[in-house]
Amino acid sequence: MKPFSDRLVDAIRMKGNPCVVGLDPRIDLMPMFVRSGRGAPTREAVRSVISGFHELVLDTVAALVPAVKPQLAFFEQYGAAGILAFEDTVRAARQRGLLVIADAKRNDISSTAGAYAAAFLGETDVFGEPQKAFDADSMTVTPYLGRDSLQPFVDVCTEHKKGLFVVLKTSNPGSRDFQDLELRSTERPLYEKITETIREFGQPLRGESGYSSIGAVIGATFPEDARRLRCLLPEAFILVTGYGAQGARGREAAVCFNDDGLGAIVSSSRGITYSYSPDNLTKPSFVNCVRENTLRMIADVTGALR
């Protein structure tokens, strides 16, 4: 198997765009036909609603985009039922040839970080046999706990040819609170300091494409910051957030790309899967709506890159 970054480049070239569909299960926003006739909210009913909804979305977008990004928070809000649906969703996405970015924003220290890395990207010893838990292609992690907290994730990426996106400069207004704080030593923002660690970990994980499997999460809502980070991390893949519902468009996202038209992927969730009135929406109308939203995003992003 190729390293994650090369698989991502292949998938982007095959689909002709760098767009990622976010999967945020929110049953209350799903079309009525998905939810109706389910009876009591048992574990199996909840799992089957979420997994069924995602199968419809995946069938619709699999031919169009290179990757999907399930957001763990929205699965976890349904407890174990949600995590069973997360397993289903990752499996269904990979069966359809889509790369999976587990948006988990996990981290911890030493062997605990290792357990998270094993959960999402690696293997765990179970009764003496190595078992994969979630088996995503890549995941998001937070940097605050330091360089040694990222090491176990990088190790698992190296061994299993997986990828990492380190949360660097997020798309929310509050990203200014701590991420932007200027350091005494550099007179530059904290997030710029963290690029050094991403570069250092990323260097040995460069693929044949020239891109590394250690990337960064950057919000397109601060395009000037994103432009500078693009220069500081020329070999990193950037997972661009803030597109669509949060206000950024293709023009803002475009600053996260290199001149070769690569080096970034742009994610949209609600704007793709929930931009309709859920009542009385038929299955064909829903599929058509998801398809149209995806095509519109692809046209916007690829148009801005030309």
* Cβ within 8 Å of residue 77, ≥6 positions away: none
List the one residue out of 305, 283, 11 whose CA is nearest residue 138: 11
Is 38 or 291 the residue whose CB approaches its own copies more closely? Answer: 38
CB of 180 to its own copies, least distance (A): 9
Rounded distance between C-alpha atoms, residue 87 and residue 94, angstroms: 11
Q: Which residue has the tokens 């069924």?
A: 52
Q: What region does 128 belong to: left with phi over 0, alpha with psi -120 to 50, or beta?
A: left
CB of 123 to its own copies, least distance (A): 9
Is 187 or 259 the residue whose CB approaches its own copies more closely? Answer: 187
3-state secondary structure of 103: strand
Q: Which helix (H) or strand (E) holds 202?
A: helix 190-202
CB of 199 to its own copies, least distance (A): 14
Is 86 or 237 the residue whose CB approaches its own copies more closely? Answer: 86
Structure tokens at 4: 């994650």
β-strands 238-241, 264-268: how paired?
Answer: parallel
CB of 281 to its own copies, least distance (A): 17
Rounded distance between C-alpha atoms, residue 215 and residue 201, angstroms: 10
Q: Which helix (H) or strand (E) holds 205?
A: none
CB of 284 to its own copies, least distance (A): 24
Q: Could you list the active site residues?
A: 105
Q: Which residue has the tokens 């891109």?
A: 211
Given a contact cutoff of 8 angstroms between Cβ atoms, the answer to whether 100 and 75 are in contact is: no
Supply the Cα-derived Rg of the chain in whole angstroms: 19
Is 40 or 231 the residue whose CB approaches its own copies more closely? Answer: 40
β-strands 129-132, 238-241: how paired?
Answer: unpaired
